[in-house]
Structure formats: C-alpha cells, structure tokens
C-alpha cells in the first residue's frame, strides 16, 4: 500500500512536472510564433518604407518579395519535416516491419594524408551501437604520402575486422568511395570524411529509415566538432544548424534532399550500384569533376527515383575551417559543385519532382544568381552614387535572419550558437553572395585548393 | 493511419507561401498607401486628443467646471448680420519645439491654439475658398465674423500640429502648396507628401490651392551672380549672356503656375484650384530687374487663377471687401500676436456703421500707418518715433465709407500742425485737411499723379497745446475743411478718391510734438441728388 502511494505520488509529481514542462514549452512556442508574426509585420513595414514601387523598379520590388517568400517557404516546409519523416516509417513502402531492423552496414572512409585524424575516426566507427558482426569498416588509402598507411596497419592489428584498401597512387575521392562500395558486402554503406565521426548512440538513426524501400540515401545532421574554437567556427556552427535543421529538413519534407552531405551520409548499396559508373564518369566542359561527389551522387539517386532524406536524430561531427581563407576556399568549391550540378539536375528534376522543381529548385537558382546583382546594387552601387549607407538593406537581411533565428530557437532551445547566425548573415551578405560570381569565373579550375 | 499526406502538404505549403506573398505585397501596398497604419497617423491622433482636451478645458473654463456649467462659458453666438468685409489670416509653420525662437513667420502651437480658441469663443467662423470668392465677387452674402484661414508652403508641422486644433474647434483651412516640393516621393521631412495632402483633403477640413510648382525660391538675375525671387524677376541666362525676354519670362512663369495647378488637380484629385498665394507676398512691389513685372505677373496669374493673395502691409486695411478685386490681403499671424490682440484686430476690422462716434475709451481699431499711436483715457496720442519724422493712423473697418463729416477735438503739444484724413484707401490714396498754425491745405494723394494743394490763410488760430474743433467733410467729389465749426476751405476731389475711411496725420521732424485727439464723430451724409 505504501509502495502504491509512493508510486502514485511520484506519478503525480511526474505528471505535474510534465504538465508544467508542457506548459512552459507551449508558452515558449507561442512566444516564438508571436515573435515571428511580429517580425514579419516589421519586415513588411520596413519594405513598405524602403522598397521601390513595382511600377518604378519592378526588379527590385519583385526580388524583395521573392527572396523573403523563399526564405519563409523554407521555414514553412521545414515545419512539416517531422510529419514527413515519421510517415516514411508508417507507410506502405516498408520492406521490413521488424523492430530490430539490422541489415549489414559498412563504413567507407576514403583518406589521403590523414595521419592526424584517421585513428580517431576509425576507432569511433567501431564504437557505434550496432552488432559488430553486422558492421564493416573500409578505409581506402588514396595514395597517402605521410604516415597514414602505417597508422592503418597498426589499426588493422587492433581491429582485425578493419578492411584497408591501399592505393600507392592517388585516384581521387570518388574512385576511393567507389572502391569501398564495390568491395563491401553490406546493404547500407555509410560514407564518411576522414575527419568526421558519427555519434555512436544515434548510429541506428542512419540505418532505420532504409526500412522504407524507396529511401536511397539518408543524410545525418552535421555539427562542427571544433565549434567553440573561434568566432568563425561559432558562425559556422550556427550556419550548420540552420543548414541542416531548416534547409535540409525543408528539402527532406518532399523526400528530395539535394545534397546528402559528404561528412556523413548513408546509402543503399542496391540504389548506388546502378548509377555508380555514371557518377564516376561525371565531367563538365570536358574536364572531370573532382569535388562535389556527395551532391552528384545524391542527384543520381534522385534521378533514379529514390528518396533522399535527412534524419535530424542522426548526429555526425566534422571539423570546420578555422581560418577565413580556408573557409572561402571551401565555400568556393561548394559553389562550383553547385553550379556544375545544376546542369545535371535541371535536366531531370522537372520530370521527376515537378513540385520541388518549381517550388524550390528554380527559385533557388534565380536567387543564387540575382543576389550578387542585387547585393552589388544595394551595397556598392547605390551607396557610392548616393552616398548613403545601405542601412535598410542590411536591416531587411537582419529581419529575415531574425525570423530564421526564431525558428532555430523553436527547434532547439539548447543550441547556444544562434546569435552567430546574424554574423553569418552579414558575412553572407558582404562576402559569400559574391563568391558565386568567382565560382563561375574559376569553374574550370578543378583543384581542391587546400582542405 | 496516414496522418501525413505528401500531396496535401505540398498544396498546403504552396498555399501558405502564395498567401505570404500576397500578404507581403498587400501589406506593402497597404502600408505604402494607407495613411492610417503609419507612425505620423498615431502622432496626429495623439495631437487630436490633446487639442480636444484643451478645447474642452477652455470651453468650460477649467475641466472641473464642466459639471457645473452645462454649456460653454461666455461663448458668443454666431452673428446674424451680413459681413461687408472679410479678413483672411495667413500662417506658416506651427511649432512645438520649445527651443525655437519666434522668427516673425511661424507660431508656437500653444499660441496658435489660443488664437483659434479665442476666435471661436468670440463667434468667428471659417469659410471655404469658394464662399470667399463668391463673396468678393458680390455673389454671396456671408455672416459677420466670417474669416478665411490659410497656411502657406504645405509644411508638415502645419498639418500635424495645426489640424488637431482645427478639428477641435470645427474650423477649416486652405493650404497653399508648393507642388514641386510636395508631389515627389514623400521623403521630405519638411513638406507634406502627396499622400498626406490627400489625407488632409479627406478630413474635409482642408482645401488645396497653389503656392507655385517650383517658383518659391530665387534664381540668378544678373551676370554678377545675384539671386532674387523667381516670379518677380527676369532670369539671367548665363549661357546666352542676357536676361530673359518678356516672352521667355511669361512662358517660364506661366509654365510654373499652370504646372502647380495641374499637379493639384491631377495628383490630388481636386476639381478646381481657384486660388494662388504669391511667395513671400511678392507680387512685384519689391525691387526687381523687370520694371513692368506687376502688370506682366498679374496678367499671367489672373489668366490661371480666380483670386490671388498677398500679405497686408502696415499701411493698409486688413480686410477684404466685395469689390471684385483679384488680389486679396492677408493678415500675417505669428507668435508676436497674442490671442486677445488677434480677436480685437478682427473685431475692429469689421465694417463700422455710420454714424460713428469714438471717445477713445478703448482702441476701436486704429491702425498704425507709421509713427506711434496710443489710446489712453479718452484721448488718442499720436507722435513721431526715432525712425519716423511723421505719423499717420487710420481706422480699421472704415474703408467702404463714402460721404461723411468727421469732426474731432485736436490739440498739438509743442506744435501747431496736424491733419485730418478722409477717403483713406491706402498710403497712396487719400485726402487730408492740413492745419498748420496760420493756414489750411486740402491735400490729395493719388497714385501716379501730383495734385496741387489748395490753401486758405488763417489767423493764428492754432496755438500749441490749445484744443480746437476741427472737421472735414467729403461728399461726392467735394471736400471741405472746418475750423471751430466754420468751413474754411473747399475743393474738388480727384475722381479716384471715391471711398475710404478716416484718420489723422502729423509731421514733426524735430520729434517733440504730440497730437492729441478726442471725441471723434463721423456722421454719414446721404448721397445728394442734383436738384433741377
């Protein structure tokens, strides 16, 4: 009897806490939504004050509406992400209804001159929460000239199950990945960068969505491992959160993540193999494409009709650039691969995903190329000719960012890097929006720069 | 089981985004074009509340008394007589900044408010421009104590500060807009925007008339780089090394004035723009490089507008008669005129009936031409000032008088010369009986003409300090001067001196004399018909 009372009090206390927690949560969300509406109103107020009339400057006016609507469309789409994701595993497309869905899985880690990180990366692969007999780890040493191979040999002794492919000559990341795909016997292949790692406890989240037969690839949520290092990495931490939890989530709502991030994504081998050679042979303007392997592979899977999705519960860590020039080189490479991929994607996306093509992909292209023009006009041309500071333009960008930041806070109260989103927005406004122009100019330079 | 439907989600996302786009476009248009959702509107509403509260406080002589008095305290009812003269007031900016120093042009809000409240209490009512024009043309009768309220330049502060007061007392006003400054994109912090002007019209309290398009300013008028008023000078054409021709002048000015009119008609949706106010009140009376500018300018203005407004000069009556004239005078009001003074000024400007008697127990509207003037305990004292070697005063509200006999008791301290003035229209048009110790002159002043005086010799009847009974009679075209009740001189008046009021003059280059006047009586004379 005593025990019963105890239990019921505990239960009541627990229920009380949970009601209180729910109430706080509800209030928090209501506050976020109200703030979002208020910000939208202020945004409209600002635009009404600053935007030219449609009659006098149709391009500027349309752009202003367009870019705001686009950003909001991302948030709105992201709001449906959770429902969309859970429906994947409720629906008719399940192959395996078993609770313990545990297919053979394999890590494929291409590496070149990674003596610093490779040991850690491999060790973490063996720590994941998965039956060891169902797990392969394949490292492809792509012509390293440092001590990488020595370390791998040492690791091989520690982990007899580790498979090492050793290439004396560098073949390129794609070929290394392809080698891993080919030699693996697993159903699911997790591709990882040599400086990435997956959160061992959330590993199953990478595998689980493949129960749905139409899922070809699952993208994990990437977080900078070195987020706290400096201002630049903090900004990137905020950017990664937005990029994965809002932008990729929004894409995932329609089962079409356009780029399953190279830092950690899982692929269904049976979906990859038919497109493997097309993917390997990708070239642009007569030259092979050396980077953008992740985006290209995702596109091939989409073209083949597969679903590519994002799982916010699968967490991976990666190292982000700590210095500005490295960050710029990385961004330049990403932009280039985006441009090259555009010519591939545009040819099938209307047929395969007409809604996504019109609702997201076309607007994205328009904005990517209009933004540098508009930013040049607002940040350089107008200030120079009229001697005014582009105060209202910056304020408009900040307001949209504030709406993003609100949703960011709505998704995760704990993530403390959200204020850096504003810095990132400024950085994007003044620097990154122009990188695409440079990317077009240097499109034929297929080098990696430095990593 | 299928809670999530991808197709429905797509449709929903699309609908939401399309709605967001509509909300944004609609919101932007609404906020851009709708005055109500803008910050200044809330400022205006707040100002309304303050003005209403002040007015209630004023009406009931303190808000605490509102319960005691069921009706406003000491408010004069509207006049039932018809007005023969209508005053027009001109204001510029209405200022709330307490650091502002009175500049002779603008007015503090509290002064403006006090003036409007006081006029309202005294029974004055505003009239529309249309009514005013009909009155001037003699086509409409308006009640006494009607006045036209005008503002120049289309300033934001006149609206945001002035309009709440007008709303409280139920007045309306005319804004003379510089359309080139107001019709642009509305970014001016000083001039009202097109949208604000439309909003003003929508209140029903404001009419819009013309204060030029871009002509409220100066331009080069000679090769040395001197600048002067746009409308009343010929422009120096630096490229051609000469002044404008008459035709070029006419084309430039007419273009500006017609442009202002069409701006108001087209951009504010106003059907008629009958009135024009000369910038700076300059209609060509000031120095100009174009001698015939008055004629040329009046010709252009009158070809475009029905009525024009200038500022009344010191030597002029302040009110306007139903005489069909194209140019009307306005009383310029600023913070130097207190409310009681303004009310007295307007009350005194009303038409005075004949017969008229003035015992100088109070000021009945003696206007200062020049010199000094003081009304004190039954007499009016007139003297020179440091700057004026002579003095002249005339009585407001008498401009329409025609045939009358004016008589008064006069004494000159430390001197023996003074004059009675009759048929005074303005400083260039009147007749006087000049008494100078041993002589009387009938002097006439007529614009552009020199009329010889008529003189009669007297004995030494005017002694310094001694009071004499003097009189002057004007009847038809004859004038007579009287001394001690006896006609001492008669003459014929110039045909231009058909009407005008009474006044006094004195001259004293030595600055030591004072003219004292008591017991003025003016008796009307019925027109005499020739007897056969």
Strand B275-277 and strand B307-311: pairing? parallel
DSSP A386-415: H----HHHHHHHHHHHHHHHHHHHHH-SS-
pLDDT (0 to 100) of residue A451: 43
pLDDT of B132 strictly over 70: yes
Read out DSSP for B215-263? -SSEEE-STT--EEESSSSPPEETTTTEEPPHHHHHHHHHHHHHHHHHH
Is B130 a residue whose pLDDT tops 90? yes
DSSP sequence for A301-365: HHHTT-EEEEEEEEEEEE----SHHHHHHHHHHHHHHHHHHHHHHHHHHHHH-HHHIIIIIHHHH
List of residues 6+ apart from B32 with CB closer than 8 A? A48, A53
pLDDT of residue A27: 84
Say if CB A177 and CB A103 are below 8 A apart.
no
User: pLDDT-derived band of residue A7, with 50, 70 and 90 as boundaries?
Assistant: very low
Neighbour count for residue A91 (Cβ, 10 Å): 14
Of B4, B24, B30, nearest to A65 by CB-CB distance is B24
Band of residue A8 on the pLDDT scale cut at 50, 70, 90: very low
Asked whether A357 and A349 are in contact (CB, 8 A), the reply is yes
pLDDT of B23 strictly over 80: yes
- CB contact B49 to A (< 8 Å): no
Task: List the single residue in A65, A87, A253 with the smallest CB-CB distance to B25.
Answer: A65
Contact B186, B194 (CB under 8 A): yes
pLDDT at A337 over 60: yes
Task: Say whether A65 and B23 touch across the interface (CB within 8 A).
Answer: no
E-strand ranges in A162-214 read 162-167, 188-192, 197-198
Instruction: For residue A48, give the nearest of B390, B28, B500, B94 by alpha carbon.
Output: B28
CA dihedral over A58, A59, A64, A68, signed as positive or negative: positive
Residues of A in contact with B2 (CB under 8 A): 87, 90-91
pLDDT at B39 over 80: no
Distance CA A348, CA A354 (A): 9
Contacts of B194 in chain A (CB under 8 A): none
For domain A96-359, give the CATH number. 3.90.550.10
Dihedrals phi, psi of A198, to nearest 5 degrees: -110, 145
Name which residue leads in pLDDT, A56 or B296. Answer: B296
Mutation for A interface: B1, B11, B13, B16, most A CBs within 10 A? B13
Test the A interface: residue of B8, B23, B28 with most A CBs within 10 Å: B28
Is B187 within 8 Å of chain A by CB?
no
Give the mean model confidence (pLDDT) for residues B308-315.
Answer: 88
* Higher pLDDT, residue A10 or B426: B426
A69 → closest Cβ in B2, B21, B29: B21
In Å, how far are B219, B226, B297, B371, B455 from B248, measured between CA atoms? Answer: 15, 19, 13, 43, 51
Answer for the pair A372, A437: CB distance below 8 angstroms, yes or no: yes
Mean residue pLDDT across chain A: 86
pLDDT value of residue B185: 60
The answer to whether the CB atoms of B24 and A69 lie below 8 A apart is yes
For A89, which residue in chain B has the nearest alpha carbon?
B2
* Six token digits for residue A419: 């204020």
Q: For every residue of A331-343, which 3-state class applies, written as one string?
A: HHHHHHHHHHHHH
pLDDT for residue B1:
37
Neighbours of A186 (CB within 10 A): 19
Tell me the pLDDT tens digit for each residue of B69-120: 777 878 888 778 899 999 999 999 999 988 888 888 899 999 999 999 999 9
Which range is least confidently modeled, A14-28, A434-448, B390-404?
A: A14-28
> Which of A179-193, A320-334, B23-37, B487-501 shows the lowest mean pLDDT across its residues?
B23-37
Query: Per-residue pLDDT tens for B139-160?
Result: 999 999 999 999 999 999 999 9
Does B528 score more than 80 pLDDT?
no
Q: Is B216 exposed, middle or buried (0-12, 13-18, 19+ CB in 10 A)?
A: buried
Q: How far apart are the first and last CA of chain B?
A: 121
Contact A62, A370 (CB under 8 A): no
What is the Cα–Cα distance from A299 to A301, expressed in whole angstroms?
5
Residue A1 has pLDDT above 50, yes or no: no
DSSP secondary structure of B328-351: EEEEE--TTS-HHHHHHHHHHHSP
Distances (CA, A) of B358 to A106, B85, B519: 118, 20, 6
What percent of chain B clears pLDDT 70, i.e. is strictly above it? 96
State the pLDDT confidence band at B344, using cuts at 50, 70 and 90: very high
**How far apart, in whole angstroms, are the C-alpha atoms of residue A105 and residue A347?**
33
Instruction: Determine the angle formed by the axes of helices A231-242 and A391-411, rounding to 10 degrees.
Output: 70
Which residue in this structure is represented by tokens 């409280």? B168
Find the closest chain B residue to A358 by CA distance: B14
> What is the model's pLDDT at position A13?
52
Residue B31 contacts A, CB cutoff 8 Å: yes
Q: What is the number of CB-based contacts under 8 A between chain A and chain B?
A: 72
Q: Which among B410, B416, B418 is positioned nearest to B391, based on CA atoms?
A: B418
CB contact (8 A) between residue A44 and residue B28: yes
Residue A396, pLDDT score: 86
Structure-token match 């979002």, residue found? A36
Chain position carrying tokens 């404008």:
B244
What mean pLDDT, rounded, does chain B reach? 90
> Looking at the predicted structure, is the pLDDT value of residue A6 above 70?
no
Domains of chain B by start residue, with CATH: 39-346 (3.20.20.370), 353-524 (2.60.120.560)
Segment holding B133, helix H or strand E: helix B129-136
My answer on whether omega of the bond before B264 falls inside 30° of 0, hence cis, is: no
Among positive and negative, which fits the CA dihedral A390, A391, A394, A400? negative
What are A41-94's pLDDT values in tens digits?
Answer: 888 877 777 665 566 677 888 888 888 889 888 998 998 898 888 888 876 667
The predicted-structure confidence for A139-179, as pLDDT tens digits, reads as follows: 998 888 888 888 999 998 999 889 999 898 888 888 999 99
All residues of chain B having their beta carbon less than 8 Å from the beta carbon of residue A80 are 4, 9, 12-13
Q: Which residues of A touch B13 (CB under 8 A)?
A: 73, 76-77, 80, 253, 359
- Of A173, A322, A303, A107, the C-alpha closest to A234 is A322
Identify the residue among A46, A69, A81, A253 best suited for mutation to test binding to B, counting B beta carbons within 10 A and taking the highest.
A69
Say yes or no for a CB contact (<8 Å) between B24 and A253. no
Between CA A333 and CA A340 the distance in angstroms is: 11
Pairing between β-strand B468-475 and β-strand B227-229 as defined by DSSP bridges:
unpaired
Residues A336-345 have a mean pLDDT of 91
Rg (CA), chain A: 24
**b/e for B263-289, b at 16 or more Cβ within 10 A?**
bbeeebebeebbbbbbbbbbbbeeebb
pLDDT tops 80 at residue B274:
yes
The one-character DSSP state at B528 is: P
Chain A residues with CB-CB distance to B10 below 8 A: 254, 355, 359
Interface residue of A33, A48, A53, A307 to substitute, partner B, most B CBs within 10 Å: A48
Could you tell me which residue, B231 or B28, shows the higher pLDDT? B231
Taking an 8 Å cut-off on Cβ atoms, the answer to whether B14 and A80 are in contact is no
Neighbours of A176 (CB within 10 A): 25
Considering chain A, what percentage of its residues have pLDDT values greater than 90? 38
Residue with more model confidence, A71 or A22 = A71
Is-contact A87 B3, C-beta < 8 A?
A: yes
B202 at interface of A, judged by CB pairs closer than 8 A: no
In what helix (H) or strand (E) does residue B357 lie, and over which residues does it extend? strand B356-358
B17–A51: do the CB atoms touch at under 8 Å? no
B/e letters for A110-141, b = 16+ CB within 10 Å, e = fewer, are bbbbbeebbbebbebbbebebeeeebbbbbbb
Q: Determine the Cα angle at B194 with ends B192 and B198, to 5°.
A: 100
pLDDT band at B472 (very low <50, low <70, confident <90, very high): very high
Which long-range contacts link A436-442 to residues 24+ away (Cβ below 8 Å)?
Answer: A436/A335, A436/A339, A436/A368, A436/A369, A436/A371, A436/A372, A437/A372, A438/A332, A438/A335, A439/A332, A439/A335, A439/A336, A439/A338, A439/A339, A440/A339, A442/A332, A442/A336
Say if residues A282 and A343 touch (Cβ distance below 8 Å): no
Determine the average pLDDT of the residues in A318-340: 91
pLDDT confidence bin for B34, thresholds 50/70/90: low
Q: Which of B17, B24, B25 sits opposite A73 (nearest CB)?
A: B17
Higher pLDDT, B405 or A22: B405
**pLDDT at residue A140, rounded to an integer:** 92
* Cβ(A44)–Cβ(B38) below 8 Å: no
Please enumerate in sequence order all residues whose Cβ is within 8 A of that of B172, keeping only pairs 6 or more positions apart, or say none.
B126, B128, B149, B166, B204, B205, B206, B207
**Res A3: pLDDT:** 43
Place of tokens 């505990």: A10
CA dihedral B408, B414, B415, B419 (to 10 degrees): -30
Give A375-431 pLDDT, tens digit per residue: 888 888 888 887 778 888 888 889 889 989 988 988 888 889 999 999 999 999 889
Three-state DSSP at A208 gives helix
Query: What's the pLDDT tens digit per position in A111-120?
Result: 888 888 888 8
- Nearest CA among B28, B194, B37 for reference residue A49: B28
Pick from A34, A21, A12: nearest CA to A409: A34
Cβ distance A72 to B20 less than 8 Å, yes or no, reads yes
The pair of structure tokens assigned to A356 is 């996504």
Q: How confident is the model at residue B473 (pLDDT cuts 50, 70, 90)?
A: very high
Residue A2 confidence (pLDDT): 44
């Amino acid at each position: 009897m005593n025990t019963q009372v105890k239990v019921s009090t505990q239960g009541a206390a627990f229920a009380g806490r949970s009601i209180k927690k729910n109430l706080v949560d509800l209030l928090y969300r209501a506050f976020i939504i109200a703030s979002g509406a208020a910000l939208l109103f202020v945004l409209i107020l600002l635009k009404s004050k600053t935007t030219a009339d449609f009659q006098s400057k149709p391009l500027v006016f349309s752009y202003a509406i367009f870019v705001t609507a686009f950003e909001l469309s991302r948030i709105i789409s992201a709001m449906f992400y959770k429902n969309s994701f859970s429906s994947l595993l409720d629906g008719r497309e399940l192959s395996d209804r078993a609770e313990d869905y545990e297919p053979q899985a394999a890590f494929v880690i291409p590496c070149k001159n990674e003596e610093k990180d490779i040991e850690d990366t491999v060790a973490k692969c063996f720590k994941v929460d998965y039956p060891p007999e169902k797990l392969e780890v394949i490292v492809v040493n792509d012509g390293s000239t440092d001590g990488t191979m020595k370390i791998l040999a040492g690791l091989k002794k520690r982990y007899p199950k580790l498979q090492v492919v050793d290439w004396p000559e560098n073949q390129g990341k794609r070929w290394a990945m392809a080698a891993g795909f080919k030699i693996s016997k697993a159903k699911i292949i997790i591709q990882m960068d040599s400086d990435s790692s997956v959160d061992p406890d959330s590993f199953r989240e990478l595998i689980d969505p493949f129960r749905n037969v139409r899922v070809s690839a699952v993208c994990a949520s990437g977080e900078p491992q070195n987020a706290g290092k400096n201002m630049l990495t903090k900004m990137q931490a905020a950017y990664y959160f937005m990029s994965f939890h809002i932008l990729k989530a929004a894409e995932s709502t329609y089962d079409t993540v356009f780029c399953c991030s190279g830092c950690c994504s899982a692929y269904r081998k049976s979906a990859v193999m038919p497109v493997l050679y097309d993917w390997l042979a990708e070239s642009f303007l007569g030259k092979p494409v050396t980077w953008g392997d992740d985006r290209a592979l995702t596109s091939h899977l989409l073209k083949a009709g597969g679903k590519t999705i994002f799982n916010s519960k699968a967490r991976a860590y990666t190292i982000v650039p700590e210095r500005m020039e490295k960050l710029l080189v990385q961004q330049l490479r990403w932009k280039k691969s985006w441009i090259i991929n555009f010519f591939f994607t545009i040819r099938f996306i209307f047929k395969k995903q007409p809604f996504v093509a019109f609702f997201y992909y076309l607007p994205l292209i328009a904005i990517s190329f209009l933004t540098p023009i508009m930013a040049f006009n607002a940040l350089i041309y107008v200030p120079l000719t009229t001697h005014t500071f582009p105060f209202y333009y910056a304020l408009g960008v900040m307001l949209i960012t504030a709406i993003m930041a609100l949703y960011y806070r709505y998704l995760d109260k704990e993530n403390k890097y959200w204020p850096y989103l504003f810095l990132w927005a400024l950085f994007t406004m003044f620097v990154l929006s122009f990188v695409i122009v440079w990317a077009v100019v240097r499109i034929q330079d297929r080098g990696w720069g430095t990593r | 089981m299928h809670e999530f439907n991808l197709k429905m989600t797509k449709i929903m996302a699309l609908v939401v985004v399309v709605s967001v786009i509509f909300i944004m476009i609609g919101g932007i248009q609404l906020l851009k074009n709708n005055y109500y959702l803008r910050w200044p509107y809330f400022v205006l509403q707040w100002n309304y509340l303050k003005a209403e509260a002040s007015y209630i406080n004023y009406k009931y002589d303190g808000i605490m008394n509102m319960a005691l008095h069921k009706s406003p305290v000491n408010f004069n009812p509207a006049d039932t007589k018809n007005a023969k003269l209508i005053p027009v007031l001109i204001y510029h900016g209405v200022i709330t900044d307490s650091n502002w120093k009175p500049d002779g042009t603008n007015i503090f809000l509290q002064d403006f408010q006090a003036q409007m409240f006081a006029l309202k209490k005294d029974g004055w009512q505003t009239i529309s421009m249309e009514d005013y024009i009909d009155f001037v043309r003699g086509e409409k009768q308006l009640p006494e104590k009607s006045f036209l309220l005008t503002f120049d330049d289309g300033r934001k502060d006149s609206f945001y500060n002035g309009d709440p007061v007008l709303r409280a007392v139920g007045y309306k006003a005319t804004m003379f807009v510089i359309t080139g400054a107001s019709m642009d994109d509305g970014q001016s912090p000083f001039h009202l925007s097109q949208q604000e002007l439309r909003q003003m019209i929508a209140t029903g309290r404001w009419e819009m008339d013309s204060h030029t398009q871009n002509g409220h300013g100066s331009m080069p008028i000679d090769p040395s780089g001197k600048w002067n008023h746009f409308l009343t000078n010929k422009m120096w054409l630096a490229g051609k090394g000469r002044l404008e021709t008459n035709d070029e002048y006419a084309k430039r000015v007419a273009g500006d004035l017609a442009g202002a009119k069409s701006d108001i008609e087209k951009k504010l949706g106003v059907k008629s723009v009958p009135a024009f106010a000369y910038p700076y009140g300059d209609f060509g009376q000031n120095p100009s490089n174009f001698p015939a500018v008055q004629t040329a300018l009046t010709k252009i203005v009158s070809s475009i507008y029905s009525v024009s407004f200038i500022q009344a000069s010191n030597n002029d009556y302040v009110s306007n008669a139903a005489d069909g004239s194209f140019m009307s005078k306005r009383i310029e009001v600023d913070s130097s005129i207190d409310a009681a003074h303004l009310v007295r000024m307007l009350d005194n400007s009303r038409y005075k009936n004949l017969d008229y008697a003035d015992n100088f127990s109070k000021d009945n509207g003696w206007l200062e031409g020049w010199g000094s003037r003081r009304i004190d305990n039954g007499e009016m004292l007139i003297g020179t000032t440091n700057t004026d070697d002579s003095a002249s005063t005339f009585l407001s509200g008498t401009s329409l008088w025609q045939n009358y006999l004016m008589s008064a008791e006069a004494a000159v301290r430390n001197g023996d010369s003074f004059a009675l003035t009759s048929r005074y229209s303005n400083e260039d048009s009147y007749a006087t009986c000049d008494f100078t110790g041993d002589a009387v002159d009938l002097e006439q002043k007529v614009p552009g003409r020199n009329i010889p005086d008529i003189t009669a010799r007297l004995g030494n009847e005017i002694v310094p300090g001694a009071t004499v009974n003097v009189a002057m009679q004007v009847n038809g075209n004859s004038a007579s001067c009287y001394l001690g009740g006896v006609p001492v001189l008669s003459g014929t008046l110039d045909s231009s001196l058909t009407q005008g009021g009474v006044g006094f003059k004195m001259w004293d280059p030595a600055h030591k004399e004072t003219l004292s006047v008591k017991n003025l009586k003016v008796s009307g004379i019925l027109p005499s018909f020739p007897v056969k």
